[in-house]
Amino acid sequence: MTERELVERLECLEGAHRRLKGFAVAPLVVTTALVTMYATQSAPQKITAREFDIVDNSGVQRMRMNVNGINISDADGVAREGLVTDTDGSAVILLLDAQGVDHAAISVSPQGAPAIRLADSQGFQMNLGSTGKVNFKAGTTEKTSAASIVMFGKDEKHHLIWQAP
């Protein structure tokens, strides 16, 4: 190899090196610019949506938030807990079994009447706090106080079994 060929080859390598440095620096500059742009943007003040679904790594829906309330599901996607607004305007927390049947509820009516309801799989129910109790003789529904405990039978008419006070 002659001296001239060696010089030409060295100049070619130096040019390739300059181009390689340029290709390496350009993405770095672009990335820095993008990160700076996104880092200086403020978070949105408001997000508007009708529904949000939160899924686990398997894609199973574990939580749903919508205008009807919030439902939390188990690993199989079965709703197990809920925070809802009832048809009468009461705020209600529901605890459900693996079949989606609610057996416990904590609620507060729009008027501020609190209640806890427990029900078993046979249909028996116990209410602690304010609840509607049907007076079959008078044909009316009476509201109990927050200091009451009422137990109902599992029959169709939901007959009163026991009450205090």
- Start-to-end Cα distance in the chain: 111
Residues 85 and 27 in one domain: no
Question: Does the pLDDT at position 51 exceed 90?
Answer: yes
Q: Are 46 and 61 in contact (CB under 8 A)?
A: no
Give every CB contact of residue 118 below 8 A, 6+ residues apart in sequence: 103, 104, 125, 126, 127, 128
Task: Select the more confidently predicted residue: 18 or 68.
Answer: 68
Count of structural domains within the chain: 2
Q: Are 141 and 128 in contact (CB under 8 A)?
A: no
**Per-residue pLDDT tens over the stretch 58-110:** 999 999 999 889 999 999 988 899 999 888 888 999 999 998 888 899 999 89
Residues 81 and 143 in one domain: yes
Question: Is there a domain that residue 31 lies in?
Answer: yes
Tell me the residue range of the domain where 63 lies: 51-164
**Per-residue pLDDT tens over the stretch 20-29:** 766 667 777 7
Residues 78 and 143 in one domain: yes
Question: Is there a domain that residue 46 lies in?
Answer: no
Backbone angles phi, psi at 135, to 5 degrees: -100, 100
Tokens of 100: 């989606």
Question: Is there a domain that residue 104 lies in?
Answer: yes
Environment class of residue 18 by beta-carbon count within 10 Å: exposed (0-12), middle (13-18) or buried (19+)?
exposed
Residues 84 and 21 in one domain: no
Residue ranges with strand state E in 36-147: 51-55, 61-66, 69-73, 79-85, 91-96, 102-108, 114-119, 125-129, 132-135, 140-143
Tokens of 124: 């028996």
Question: Is there a domain that residue 111 lies in?
Answer: yes
Give the CATH number, domain containing residue 128: 3.90.930
- Measure the CA–CA gap between 112 and 68, rounded to whole angstroms: 20
**Mean pLDDT computed over 106-125:** 89
Give the number of other Cβ atoms within 10 Å of residue 95's Cβ.
Answer: 13
Task: Select the more confidently predicted residue: 60 or 9.
Answer: 60
Residues 14 and 94 in one domain: no
Residues 13 and 84 in one domain: no
Question: Does the pLDDT at position 136 exceed 60?
Answer: no
